[in-house]
Amino acid sequence: MNKKTKKIPVALTIAGSDSGGGAGIQADLRTFAYYGVYGCSAITAVTAQNPCEVRRVDALPAGAVKAQLESVFDEFDVGSVKTGMLFDSGIIRAVSKFLSTKRKISVVVDPVMVSTSGAVLLKKDAVSAVAGMLFPVAAWVTPNIHEAELLLGRKIGDEEEMMKAAADFAEKWNCGCIVKGGHLKIKGSIKVDAVAYDGGLYRLSSPEIETRAGHGTGCTFSAAIAAGFALGHPWETALLSAKSFVYGSLVESVMPGGRIYAMFPPAGKYSNKVSIRQCGKY
């Protein structure tokens, strides 16, 4: 190696391809690049979509996904992994089995089930596979409220119930959990995510922003957390940075076509807009 060649952190995304570029693999790799992290990928499915609709999903065979994972790990020193759209139980089984052999690597699981436009991105018979196979290998899980309701089998109507849901995930699967509260109305014009980690409950918050650029923000958030872990950041720093990044990307949204897309904010510009504070224990 040339003495001037710099070794940089590596993160891997295991997710579906979004032809519109706003979510999935494309959003994850852009996020990794923003953080200065080298991004690798294992594609689970090819989707024909734009911010308005998912027109078609073609899943890859589980063996093809496994082969991508083996190829990446044979050559790269992967520091963290995030999973997104896995689509069916066969892919979930293959991914979970492989990651179970990589216990020292932080795995961030975004349990993608339904797109913003309402398209089903996870087969109904695979929901139990997410909880039974994937969560046990996760360091962190990042469900939104609708996904948390489906996985826990109950409604979440307020912040207290959201906190309880995060605690239940953390206790049951021995991992950190962030229940994303973007769909929940909170007094005071703020958006709050419920965080449960190592016995503590936390409010991760940012100002509320009116926007139509929400497509792909869940993918971006989990990818930003994974990038933080690849860089060696402690969990509070990784979460705050990811929250700031997503908030700033909405503020700095652009129009590459007929719809508004979230876009990269200047580094650190919105860090004073987010906060995390402990609000209880579980």
Q: Are 250 and 214 in contact (CB under 8 A)?
A: yes
99 — pLDDT class (breaks 50, 70, 90):
very high
Radius of gyration of the chain (CA): 18
pLDDT higher at 18 or 261: 18
Q: Give me the mean pLDDT over the 132-142 stretch.
A: 97
Residues 38 and 12: their CA atoms lie apart, in Å, by: 9
pLDDT tens by residue, 141-187? 999 999 999 999 999 999 999 999 999 999 999 999 999 987 777 76
User: Is the distance from CB of 262 to CB of 246 less than 8 angstroms?
Assistant: yes
**Structure-token match 């391809």, residue found:** 17
Burial (CB count within 10 angstroms: exposed 0-12, middle 13-18, buried 19+), residue 272 = exposed
Q: What is the structure's pLDDT at 120?
A: 67
pLDDT > 90 fraction of the chain, expressed in percent and rounded:
70
Distance CA 155, CA 140 (A): 22
Contact 31, 4 (CB under 8 A): no
Per-residue pLDDT at 117 exceeds 60: no
CA–CA dist 190, 144 (Å, integer): 16
At 41 the three-state DSSP class reads strand
User: pTM to 2 decimals?
Assistant: 0.93
pLDDT of 257 > 70? The answer is no
Q: What pLDDT shows up at residue 216? A: 76
Q: Give the contacts of 244 (CB within 8 A, at least 6 positions apart).
A: 206, 265, 268, 270, 271, 273, 274
CB distance 155 to 142 below 8 Å: no
Burial of 109 (0-12, 13-18, 19+ CB in 10 A): buried
Residue 48: pLDDT over 80: yes
Domain 10-180+213-242 in this protein, CATH class: alpha beta
> Residue 108 is encoded by which pair of tokens?
């961030």
Listed residue (60, 177, 41) closest to 109, CA to CA = 177
Domain boundaries, the chain: 10-180+213-242
Question: Which residue carries 């590459």 as its tokens?
Answer: 256
